[in-house]
Structures are given as structure tokens and as C-alpha cells.
């Protein structure tokens, strides 16, 4: 069985972070979103993986993953360029997939527990296709499933104004090679894209068997700042306490905290978990880091209060005041030069931003 990770899209809702790189390389709990996907496929026994690249800095994806050997997989890169739909991206993988079944996973979707059990179910079934469904509050934002009175899947509708159910497609698909025949028959939708919902609909109407499974636990489509911060919180809920760096005073740590190698936590700092801290990071004596915060590698924080935020690699922070619910892009600098202590700030900063308050 082979794997395909879709790494395209413009990520407009995540700007300015996506001005300098694809959304799938944004770190959540100090690991890029698409790396969670890749590792999920690998843990399912899938080691031959294609990554479909979009037109937002595809070179950064190749530089990050290389040939995949460091992560125990073999990666083939396929260029889609501008986004023309999920079905279009899958269609480009026909030669890569060959005669084998395939798992297609959106590179910005996160699934608690990964796909291993679903891979096994598909392998042991006679399905030509299988989708994962999740109950959501706003199904009109997604592709939505419709069932008959016996619970059989009969229709999939892309972003309907009046959803036929509360169950959305999760962005994880399982196919036999017959899907490529269906994709070849598609015409662009009103969005000028080849819709995967229409390809699966054709699969069902052609007499092929399409099954479904319900997602247990959580599933996140990390398309917005709020989604990324919530994903960070969900992953940190399972954080294990581990100290690999230097903590000058053990009483600085409260709850579950991960501290990476060669990082230093000065006496007087307070870290209240769950919090993950990368490698070669320095937290000064006047730093407070609250729950659900991820701090990357090579970060220096001289002074600040930070909660429920993601601080990416190589940042420098020295400020009076509180940062909360924020995403700080790599190589950013935040400093204050005022005497009065502000109440607090919420930032969304792209790479190499600099703010003086």
C-alpha cells in the first residue's frame, strides 16, 4: 500500500505565516503539521510516500523532508502548482500509485491516534474506496455525507448550504486504483476545481463499493489560527514530562513539561505545563510560561509572560507584558521600551517580524 500527502493550497487564512512557507510546515507542539501525517503513515506500515507540492515555497518542503530517509520512508515529490482541487492532485499520482491501494491524507489534517487501524480495515475489506467521517458543528464548511434510512452512504456533497447530515469528510481517503478512472471523467466545479466528493460519487454510481468509518477522538483541519492553537492544546494534553536540558531550580516546573537538549531554564522562571520547549533555548529568571505553550529551538526569552501560544524557532523576546493566544513566526523579535506594564497582547507574526512596544 502507498501513501500520498497533499501539501498544496495557499493558506490565505493563515497569512502572514504563509507568505514565507506552506501552511503544512507550521509547527504544532514543536513538530510540523505534515510530519505528524507522514509519521502516521509510516506507523501504519506505509513507507513509499508521495508528497504533492503546491506553489507556496515547494523548495522548503523538499529541503525539510529530503528523500525521507531520516524519517524512515521513501519520498517521491509530485508538482501540482496552483491548487486545482484534491481530485486533481490525486490524479497526478496515477503513475506513482500503479496497481496498489493508496491512502490519501491532507497534509494539514491531524487525527488523534493516526490512521493505522483504518489502514488495516481497508486492507481487510472488499471496498474500492473508504472515507473517514467526523461529526462537526459547521458541516457547511466541509464535504458532507448523506445516508439512507439503513445507514448506507449514498451521497457526498461539497460545502452544501443545507447539509444533509452533521458528518464531514475528514480529508483522509482510501482508494483502489479505480479512482483514477473516475477522476478522468471529472469537470471543474464552480470553484474551478476537480472535487474529490464528485469522484467518490462517481465511484458509488459505477457500482463500486465505498465504505466509511467514524473518527473516534479528535480530528482537526488546521486551516485557521484558532485551529492551530487548538491542535497545539490537544497534542500537549498527551505530553510526557521529560527534562533533557538544564533546569536550575526544579520548583520552576509545575505539571508536565518537556525541555529539549542544551536548553536552560534559569532559577526564578516559572513554567506551568503542559508546555514543550525545544533545544538550545534560554528562558530567563523573569519568564513565566503558562499552559498550552510550545516554544521552539534556539529561542531566547529574557522576560515575558506567555500562555496558550506557539513561539517558533530562533525568536528573541524581552518584554514587559503578556503574550497570549499567539503564533510567533521564526526569527521574530519582540521587545518593549516603555515603563508602564501593558495588560497583554495577541500576535500573529510572520517570519522575521520585529516589534518594539
Local structure of 350: helix, strand or coil: coil
50, 120, 161, 247, 345 from 104: Cα distances, Å: 9, 15, 26, 43, 39
Give the helix/strand (H/E) hosting 169.
strand 167-175
Q: Is there a single domain that holds both residue 161 and residue 197?
A: yes
pLDDT for the residue numbered 174: 97
Mean pLDDT of the region 118-123: 94
Mean pLDDT of the chain: 89
Cell of 327: 503564533
What pLDDT, in 10s, does the model give residues 276-334? 999 999 999 999 999 999 999 999 999 999 999 999 999 999 998 899 999 998 998 98
**pLDDT tens, 202-230?**
999 998 999 999 988 788 877 788 889 99
Give the whole-angstrom CA distance, residue 192 versus residue 216. Answer: 33
Domain edge (last residue) among 184, 214, 236: 236
* Predicted pLDDT at 157: 83
What pLDDT band is residue 123 in, cutting at 50, 70 and 90? Answer: very high
Residue 257 pLDDT: 96
Q: What is the mean pLDDT of residues 178-193?
A: 89
Residue 342 has pLDDT above 60, yes or no: no
Same domain, yes or no: 219 and 70: yes
Task: Clarify whether residues 28 and 131 are in a common domain.
Answer: yes
Please tell me whether residue 153 adopts helix, strand or coil conformation: strand
> CB burial class (10 A; 0-12, 13-18, 19+) of residue 149?
exposed
Report pLDDT for 341.
Answer: 56
Residue 162: per-residue pLDDT? 86
Grid cell of 309 as nine digits = 501560544
User: Of 4-18, 35-49, 311-325, which range is least confident?
Assistant: 4-18
Q: Are residues 89 and 180 in the same domain?
A: yes
Residues 164 and 248 placed together within one structural domain of the fold: no
The answer to whether residues 120 and 25 belong to one domain is yes
The CATH number that applies at residue 68 is 3.90.550.10
Do residue 217 and residue 249 come from a single domain? no
Note whether 192 and 224 are same-domain residues: yes
Instruction: Indicate whether 142 pLDDT > 60.
Output: yes
Residues 228 and 258 in one domain: no
- Statement to judge: residues 285 and 159 lie in one domain: no
Residue 43 has pLDDT above 80, yes or no: yes
Q: Determine the structural domain holding residue 38 and report its residue range.
A: 2-236
Q: Which three cell numbers stand for residue 117?
A: 487501524
Considering the domain architecture, whether residues 232 and 248 belong to the same structural domain is answered as no
**Residue 355 scores a pLDDT above 70:** no
181 by Cβ neighbours in 10 Å (0-12 / 13-18 / 19+) ranks as middle
CATH number at residue 314: 2.160.10.10
- Cβ contacts of 275 within 8 Å, gap of 6 or more: 236, 239, 255, 256, 257, 258, 289, 290, 291, 292, 293, 294, 295
Residues 227 and 246 in one domain: no
pLDDT above 80 (res 350): no
**Among residues 187, 216, 236, which one ends one of the domains?**
236
- When divided into structural domains, the chain yields a total of 2
Using the 3D structure, point to which of 236, 255, 276 is the last residue of a domain.
Answer: 236
Cis ω for the linkage preceding 16 (within 30 of 0): yes
pLDDT tens, position by position, 45-70: 999 999 999 887 888 999 999 999 99
Q: What is the pLDDT of residue 338?
A: 63
Confidence of residue 18 (pLDDT cuts 50, 70, 90): low
Q: Tell me what pLDDT residue 340 has.
A: 58
Amino acid at each position: 500500500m502507498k501513501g500520498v500527502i497533499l501539501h498544496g493550497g495557499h493558506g490565505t487564512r493563515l497569512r502572514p505565516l504563509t507568505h514565507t512557507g506552506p501552511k503544512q510546515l507550521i509547527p504544532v507542539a514543536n513538530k510540523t503539521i505534515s510530519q505528524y501525517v507522514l509519521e502516521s503513515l509510516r506507523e501504519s506500515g506505509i513507507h513509499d510516500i508521495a508528497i504533492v507540492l503546491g506553489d507556496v515555497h515547494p523548495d522548503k518542503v523538499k529541503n525539510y523532508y529530503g528523500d525521507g530517509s531520516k524519517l524512515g520512508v521513501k519520498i517521491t515529490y509530485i508538482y501540482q502548482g496552483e491548487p486545482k482541487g484534491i481530485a486533481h492532485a490525486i490524479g497526478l499520482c496515477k503513475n506513482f500509485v500503479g496497481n496498489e491501494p493508496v491512502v490519501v491524507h491532507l497534509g494539514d489534517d491531524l487525527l488523534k491516534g493516526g490512521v493505522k487501524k483504518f489502514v488495516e480495515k481497508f486492507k481487510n475489506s472488499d471496498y474500492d474506496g473508504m472515507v473517514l467521517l467526523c461529526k462537526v458543528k459547521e458541516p457547511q464548511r466541509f464535504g458532507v455525507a448523506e445516508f439512507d434510512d439503513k445507514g448506507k452512504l449514498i451521497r457526498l456533497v461539497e460545502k452544501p448550504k443545507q447539509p444533509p447530515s452533521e458528518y464531514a469528510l475528514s480529508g483522509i481517503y482510501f482508494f483502489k486504483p479505480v479512482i483514477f478512472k473516475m477522476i478522468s471523467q471529472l469537470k471543474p466545479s464552480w470553484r474551478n476545481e476537480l472535487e474529490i466528493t464528485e469522484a467518490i460519487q462517481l465511484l458509488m454510481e459505477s457500482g463500486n463499493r465505498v465504505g466509511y468509518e467514524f473518527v473516534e477522538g479528535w480530528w482537526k483541519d488546521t486551516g485557521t489560527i484558532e485551529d492551530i492553537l487548538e491542535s497545539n492544546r490537544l497534542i500537549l494534553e498527551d505530553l510526557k514530562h521529560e527534562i533533557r536540558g538544564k533546569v536550575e531550580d526544579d520548583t520552576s516546573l509545575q505539571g508536565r513539561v518537556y525541555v529539549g537538549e542544551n536548553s536552560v531554564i534559569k532559577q526564578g522562571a516559572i513554567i506551568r505545563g503542559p508546555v514543550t520547549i525545544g533545544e538550545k533555548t534560554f528562558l530567563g529568571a523573569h519568564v513565566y510560561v503558562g499552559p498550552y505553550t510550545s516554544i521552539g529551538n534556539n529561542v531566547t526569552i529574557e522576560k515575558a509572560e506567555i500562555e496558550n501560544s506557539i513561539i517558533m524557532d530562533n525568536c528573541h523576546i524581552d518584554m514587559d507584558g503578556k503574550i497570549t493566544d499567539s503564533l510567533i513566526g521564526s526569527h521574530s523579535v519582540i521587545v518593549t521600551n516603555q515603563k508602564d506594564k501593558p495588560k497583554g497582547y495577541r500576535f500573529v507574526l510572520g517570519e522575521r517580524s520585529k516589534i518594539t512596544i
